[in-house]
A and B are shown apart, each in its own frame.
Chain A
Amino acid sequence: GAGVSQSPSNKVTEKGKDVELRCDPISGHTALYWYRQSLGQGLEFLIYFQGNSAPDKSGLPSDRFSAERTGGSVSTLTIQRTQQEDSAVYLCASSPAGAHGNTIYFGEGSWLTVV
C-alpha cells in the first residue's frame, strides 16, 4: 500500500482481555517501529524491528506486551491481560532502512480503550 496501515483503528476492550494490533508497513521498508502515545503525552518507544536482526524490545513496559514481525513485513503487537493504563493510541511506523539517517513514516494509529 501507499502508507503504513494499521488495524483496528479503534478498539474498546474489557480489562483483563487480550488484544492484538496489526501493522502493515510501507512496501520495501525494512525497519518497523511501535510507539505508544497516551492522551496529551509524547511518543513512548516500545519496540523496533530491523530486517532479520533481533528486535530491540527495550521499550516494552511490561511482560504483558509482546510483538512479532512475520516474514519481515506485517507486525502484530499483543497486549495480554489489558489494564486501564494501557489505554492509548498505538502508532506503528516504518522506514526504508535502519533508523540511522532515515525518516520514519507513521500509520494512523490504533486507538485502544480499556474499560
Chain B
Amino acid sequence: QKEVEQNSGPLSVPEGAIASLNCTYSDRGSQSFFWYRQYSGKSPELIMFIYSNGDKEDGRFTAQLNKASQYVSLLIRDSQPSDSATYLCAVDTGRRALTFGSGTRLQVQP
C-alpha cells in the first residue's frame, strides 16, 4: 500500500463546476496535510495546508480533513480553465520530509 494515494485522473469538469480531488494516506500518525498545484513543466506550488479535522477555506479552494477515515480532499469551486494542472497531495508523517502522492490531473473544459 502506498503511503499517499491519489487517483491519477484525468478528472474532467466543465468550467464553473466544482472539482473534487481526493487523497488517502496510510500513516495514522500523520500530522499535517498539504495540497500543491503543478502546471506542466513547472515546479509544485503550495495551494493550501490543513492540520485539523474539518474544512478550511481559502477563496475558491476548500481543504477537508477526516483523520478517522485518513482522508483529505480539495474542492475547487467555480473551476476555471487556468485551474487545469496536476494536484499533488502531501503528508507530513512527522518522521521526515513530506511524502507526496502521484497526483491527480485536472482538466477544466471551457
A residues with CB within 8 A of B:
33, 35, 41-43, 45, 48, 56, 58-59, 91, 99-101, 103-109
Q: Is the CB of A104 within 8 A of B96?
A: no
Known contacts A103-B49, A104-B97, then 11 further A-B pairs from the complex at CB < 8 Å, ordered by chain A residue: A35-B97, A42-B101, A43-B88, A45-B96, A48-B96, A56-B96, A91-B44, A99-B97, A101-B32, A103-B46, A105-B46
Contact A58 B43, CB 8 Å, known A42-B102, A103-B49: no
Contact A101 B92, CB 8 Å, known A42-B103, A106-B43, A108-B43: yes
Most buried by A among B42, B45, B92, B97: B97
Chain B proximity of A58: nearest CB distance (Å): 7
Measured in the bound complex, the distance between the Cα atoms of B99 and A91 in whole Å is 14
Q: Which of B49, B94, B96 contacts A58 (CB 8 A)?
A: B96
Interface of B is mostly: loop
Residues of B close to A41: CB separation below 8 A: 102
Q: Is the CB of B43 within 8 A of A91?
A: yes
Chain B residues 31 to 54 lying within 8 A of chain A, measured CB to CB, are: 31-32, 34, 42-46, 49, 51
Q: In the complex, what residue of chain A is closest to B44 when comparing beta carbons?
A: A106
Contact A101 B44, CB 8 Å, known A43-B88, A43-B100, A58-B96: no
